[in-house]
């Protein structure tokens, strides 16, 4: 049954995009944790098919271009988790609906621009409404932010943060491909970095370097400045002017290849055989602090991240309201410990 829920037991959570690859894992994790998922999304047929495999769950079709349908989808719910990309299209309408309903909003957006939009457009309104809005509560954006925040420890500022992604492979879902295309169009095909305290768009060619991942992975070639949502989540609350993310070259090649297949289940829990090691390195002067996370399947592991976030909001274990990333709103080391056995985490202070 997972961790004890206490006062959260039986609360209802609308899952928008419930029938998607990640959405299905979120629904299963909610049920495992004792919550009652309400199945929502645009395709009524796919929702009914999902409900047939998840007996007893209510189906609430909704579309982001129909606010009344979103209001019905959230009616009586205690929170909403948005799993439907591209989030450039879905995040704002679902956040608006959550604010109208006065309930917490969590999403799993990896899109840099969509997450930036959430912070830019909803910070004041969500704070005034006293509603928690937590974007990027996923493998990309949320996990890196938690690791970096935990690694910071008692530091109030640092010179540089690097998140290095050691993925054994990356078989992207159709949703990942669509979201990537939308982000690429929004930035006109340019690349993006976070430097000198701001986002910068550029046309520099990607560069390769060797990254010394901890054993047993060891040194691997990575694509430098393969920029992910961490460049939005970390600077939203950490005083670090340089934030970089690197990606294992083999995973970057998988993502860019048009014929790379979607992930397929390799165990009874639906996990693929993909493994990951994520290392967050925080540097201040000549001193470094590190946090390392290991696990399996970047999509499946997003579900406990999002569901643990909702659970902590329900039980009052939050540090702020309004729009906030994982590391700001939650106690990062404690949150990471709660993710066991899904993720193994190590902290290293020099």
Mean pLDDT of 96-112: 98
pLDDT band at 216 (very low <50, low <70, confident <90, very high): confident
Give the rounded percent of residues in the chain with a pLDDT score beyond 70: 97
- Reported as type and span, the H/E element at residue 294 is strand 287-296
Question: What token pair was written down for 35?
Answer: 């919550």
Print burial letters for 215-249: b (CB count within 10 Å at least 16), e (below 16): eebeebebbbbbbbbbbbbbbbbbebebbbbbbbb
Reported confidence tier of residue 330, pLDDT bands at 50, 70, 90: very high
Domains of the chain (ranges; CATH) run 6-139+302-333 (3.40.50.720), 140-297+342-349 (3.30.360)
Closest CA to 326 of 115, 121, 134: 134
Give φ, ψ of 25 to 5 degrees: -70, -35
- Estimate the crossing angle of helix 21-32 against helix 174-186, to 10 degrees: 120
Residue ranges of alpha helices (H) inside 234-340 are 249-256, 302-314, 326-329, 332-338
164-176 mean pLDDT: 96
**DSSP E strand stretches across 189-286:** 191-195, 198-202, 207-212, 219-224, 242-248, 275-284
Scanning 130-233, the segments in alpha helix (DSSP H) are: 144-152, 174-186, 230-233
| pLDDT band, very low/low/confident/very high, at 350 (cuts 50, 70, 90) | low
Tokens at residue 331, please? 């106690």
Both tokens of 214, joined, read 């901890």
pTM for the model: 0.96
- DSSP of 80-136: EEE--S-HHHHHHHHHHHHHHHT--EEE----HHHHHHHHHHHHHHHHHHT-EEE--
């Amino acid at each position: 049954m997972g961790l004890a829920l206490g006062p959260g037991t039986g609360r209802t959570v609308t899952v928008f995009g419930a029938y998607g690859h990640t959405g299905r894992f979120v629904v299963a994790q909610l049920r495992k944790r004792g919550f009652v998922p309400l199945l929502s999304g645009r395709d009524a047929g796919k929702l009914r098919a999902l409900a047939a495999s998840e007996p007893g769950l209510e189906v609430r079709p909704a579309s982001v271009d129909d606010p009344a349908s979103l209001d019905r989808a959230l009616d009586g719910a205690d929170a909403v988790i948005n799993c439907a990309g591209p989030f450039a299209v879905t995040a704002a309408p679902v956040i608006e609906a959550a604010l109208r309903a006065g309930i917490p909003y969590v999403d799993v957006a990896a899109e840099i621009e969509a997450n930036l939009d959430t912070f830019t457009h909803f910070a004041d309104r969500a704070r005034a409404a006293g509603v928690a809005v937590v974007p990027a509560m996923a493998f990309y954006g949320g996990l890196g932010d938690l690791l970096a925040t935990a690694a910071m420890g008692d530091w109030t500022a640092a010179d540089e943060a690097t998140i290095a992604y050691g993925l054994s492979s990356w078989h992207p879902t159709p949703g990942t491909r669509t979201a990537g295309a939308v982000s690429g169009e929004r930035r006109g095909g340019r690349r993006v970095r976070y430097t000198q305290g701001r986002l910068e768009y550029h046309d520099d060619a990607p560069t390769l370097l060797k990254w010394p991942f901890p054993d047993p992975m060891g040194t691997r070639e990575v694509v430098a400045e393969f920029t992910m949502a961490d460049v939005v989540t970390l600077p939203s609350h950490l005083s670090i002017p340089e934030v970089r993310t690197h990606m294992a070259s083999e995973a970057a090649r998988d993502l860019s290849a048009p014929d790379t297949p979607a992930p397929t289940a390799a165990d009874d829990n639906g996990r693929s055989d993909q493994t990951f090691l994520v290392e967050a390195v925080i540097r201040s002067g000549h001193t470094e602090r590190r946090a390392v996370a290991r696990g399996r399947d970047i999509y499946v592991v997003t579900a406990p991240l999002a569901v643990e976030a909702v659970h902590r909001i329900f039980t009052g274990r939050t540090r702020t309201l309004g729009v906030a990333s994982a590391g700001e709103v939650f106690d990062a080391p404690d949150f990471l410990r709660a993710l066991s056995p899904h993720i193994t985490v190590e902290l290293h202070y020099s």
